[in-house]
Structure 1
């Protein structure tokens, strides 16, 4: 009979579980230690910390929507052991005490073992203790994840180091996505973890179940803070130095550059382009990196969209089809710098006064100087300076970004050639 079917040694309704949950919720380490080390018997007792089996509770009041869709409800029950609890909260004394009393380091009645919990919490000392007492460094959880795959925070670097020292498999593919530890490090922007895994022989261009390399996974991951963004940039630079293919496509034919543009990361876009990423690559849907950059322009951080568009155009990205420019204008109206950079990449683009209809009135008024200069070109040819810029850019082609800074020109003219926005069109 499985632990799920067997009654737990300490059910949710027991006094010990009530006191234990209260101590865990308040961070009362002394009480947790006392309960685990002196009251729980046997040492590998199964403890029930949660149970939402409402069908066993006659008084449960369910909303009508739930009653109409009972088949969508999932019964969740959390079973664990004293060792898992201690490891999850970094209680080294408890872990040592339990192991000294022959607690099973690989027991996982709730689906995860103590080693999984220690790695999730980033508790290096607990991880080392468990490994020294024979914990399996490649033990799979019920979700099919090894401990290395649960090293997901900067604090878990020591755990990852300890796992590898005790024989963990650095190239193990686990979970529904068949990710390697390097993929996990990439998804969470853990540059130091990635460096550790590469140093232990991880294959830099290994593919997961979605056809992604670690570089692709890193470029598609969300970053919420400047620190996370900086770590992601360092990680991608590390992968590229290690030989990662800048143009590796996933199962949808999206390249890392597609994903970086979709996440509005101009620094990362530039890094990829400098390592040979194809600015004109098309995914299965026919979208280019430029299209992805334009799609995300209005929700990107300030200055990011025009920097991405600049970088792509200066590395040879094909232009938007002229007839589609009104659609771009509608999508990016709130970011006139993007419109300016893109418009200035054409030698000549016929301006229609009807375009004004796609720009919301409040947006037009907010950026009136720019839009007035745009629609003034409906009856005026572009200036000679612009035409000269287009001729030089056409001559330099995809190497504009590299060659323009080498021209014997003042910096202001160099930035002009590289489509630096000025706020108005001439």
Structure 2
């Protein structure tokens, strides 16, 4: 009999479950403790917290999607045990009581055991109690995830430490994605978790089912602005432990492609200075520069021009001149990107027809810049710019390291490194 067909000791419509849900929703710890420690018939009772199988109830009100033919035939049924509930809520005293009464630490009628729940909630004391009572540190959930895969928050670091102390496998691949715990830490920006796993022998360049390393996963994750510094620390940690900066996933995208796709200049700089190839092409033929140009209009607050600068100062090819109008069209709202890119050419013939690709409202907002751009339609670039291009061509992909060594004022060094000024000359 499968878990979904098992008859629970306490069905979802029972008085016990109603009281239990009320205690959970009201965060009534005393009532919850009484229910799961004293009122259940036995410590490993199976409790049904949810069951939306409307097909078995002719009187049920059907979801609107059914009438449109969009509703899946699968339904959600949530089975659990008192021990799982106590561990999920972080009630250490309840966990201790239930284990003392002989509760099975690995029982998982709902697909996850108590140890999974403790790790998911970051409840270290509960996790340690369960492990002391011989809970399996590598028990797989119904989704194929071990407890280490569920250490997904900063608060779960203690749980991860406890699991490793009890010989949890740091290389276990989880579910269809085949993520290792290090991949999970990289995805979530958990640099301390990553350090812990690496110190316990995690393979820094292990690949998941998409061909990604932990570094690739970290560079492709969607970080909030306040998480950028932590992401950078994590990637620097992986690189110090030998992560290859230029590995490719199943789509031939490198970590640099992904960092540029999110317009992260500090991360792009870190990768480039560890050997990432600014000229690399993915399966679609896109370079890291193309990735940041595709992102620029959607992420102006990320200052995509800084990422464009980093790439060009590390030897990235510029855009084919005939394709420049397409860049102008997609990045018109971020003129600093246009400026940096335009200044990377010794001479680029400006056409009056380019005005047609710039929305009128964008032109009005950035009128001074675009007037300066179109004024170059009949004027050659200044000698200073031509000297800049000659020096940059001589230095090639070492511009970033050689320009700062020149005995020049900082303002001229910045000029050579394409620092935007807000206007074109």
* TM-score in terms of structure 2 length: 0.98
Report how far residue 301 of structure 1 moved: 4.5
Partner of 2:245: 246
Report how far residue 2 of structure 1 moved: 3.3
Partner of 2:145: 145
Measured in 2, the distance between the counterparts of 1:70 and 1:256 equals 38
Partner of 2:98: 98
Matches within 5 A, 1:299-338: 299-338=298-337
Checking the alignment, whether the CA contact within 8 Å between 2:205 and 2:244 is kept in structure 1 is: yes
Does residue 195 of structure 1 match 2:205? no
Measured in 1, the distance between the counterparts of 2:406 and 2:302 equals 26
The number of residue pairs the alignment matches comes to 425
Does residue 129 of structure 1 match 2:129? yes
SS of match in other structure, 1:172: coil
**Aligned-residue CA RMSD in angstroms?**
1.1
Measured in 2, the distance between the counterparts of 1:60 and 1:261 equals 50
Partner of 1:397: 396
Measured in 2, the distance between the counterparts of 1:370 and 1:202 equals 51
5+ residue gaps, structure 1, are: none
Partner of 1:163: 163
Partner of 2:271: 272
Checking the alignment, whether the CA contact within 8 Å between 1:264 and 1:301 is kept in structure 2 is: no
Checking the alignment, whether the CA contact within 8 Å between 2:137 and 2:167 is kept in structure 1 is: yes
Measured in 2, the distance between the counterparts of 1:361 and 1:106 equals 65
Measured in 2, the distance between the counterparts of 1:163 and 1:301 equals 43
Partner of 1:375: 374
* TM-score in terms of structure 1 length: 0.98
Report how far residue 303 of structure 1 moved: 5.0
Measured in 1, the distance between the counterparts of 2:357 and 2:211 equals 39
Checking the alignment, whether the CA contact within 8 Å between 1:352 and 1:375 is kept in structure 2 is: yes
Report how far residue 74 of structure 1 moved: 2.1
**Distance change in 2, residues 1:117/1:303 (3 Å):** closer
Measured in 1, the distance between the counterparts of 2:259 and 2:420 equals 22
SS of match in other structure, 1:377: helix
Report how far residue 68 of structure 1 moved: 3.8
Measured in 2, the distance between the counterparts of 1:80 and 1:373 equals 68
Measured in 2, the distance between the counterparts of 1:100 and 1:148 equals 25
**Distance change in 2, residues 1:357/1:70 (3 Å):** closer
Partner of 1:420: 419
Checking the alignment, whether the CA contact within 8 Å between 1:66 and 1:73 is kept in structure 2 is: no
Partner of 1:79: 79
Checking the alignment, whether the CA contact within 8 Å between 2:263 and 2:302 is kept in structure 1 is: no
Measured in 2, the distance between the counterparts of 1:303 and 1:136 equals 44
Moved more, 258-267 or 309-318: 258-267
Partner of 1:113: 113
Report how far residue 56 of structure 1 moved: 2.2
Partner of 2:61: 61
Q: Deviations over 1:161-192 (max 9, x none)?
A: 00000010011112111111111110111000
Measured in 2, the distance between the counterparts of 1:224 and 1:74 equals 34
Measured in 1, the distance between the counterparts of 2:41 and 2:65 equals 42
Q: Deviations over 1:353-373 (max 9, x none)?
A: 000000000000000000000
Checking the alignment, whether the CA contact within 8 Å between 2:300 and 2:334 is kept in structure 1 is: no
Report how far residue 112 of structure 1 moved: 0.3
Q: Deviations over 1:300-323 (max 9, x none)?
A: 152520000000000000110000
Measured in 2, the distance between the counterparts of 1:174 and 1:43 equals 29
Partner of 1:353: 352
Measured in 2, the distance between the counterparts of 1:288 and 1:366 equals 30
Measured in 2, the distance between the counterparts of 1:348 and 1:420 equals 18
Partner of 2:262: 263
Report how far residue 77 of structure 1 moved: 0.2
Measured in 2, the distance between the counterparts of 1:64 and 1:151 equals 36
Partner of 1:34: 34
Q: Deviations over 1:50-76 (max 9, x none)?
A: 111111222323355423426634211
Measured in 1, the distance between the counterparts of 2:313 and 2:64 equals 58
Report how far residue 225 of structure 1 moved: 3.8
Partner of 2:405: 406
SS of match in other structure, 1:185: helix
Q: Deviations over 1:205-252 (max 9, x none)?
A: 1111111110000000111241x2221110000000111000000011
Measured in 2, the distance between the counterparts of 1:182 and 1:277 equals 21
**Distance change in 2, residues 1:225/1:388 (3 Å):** closer
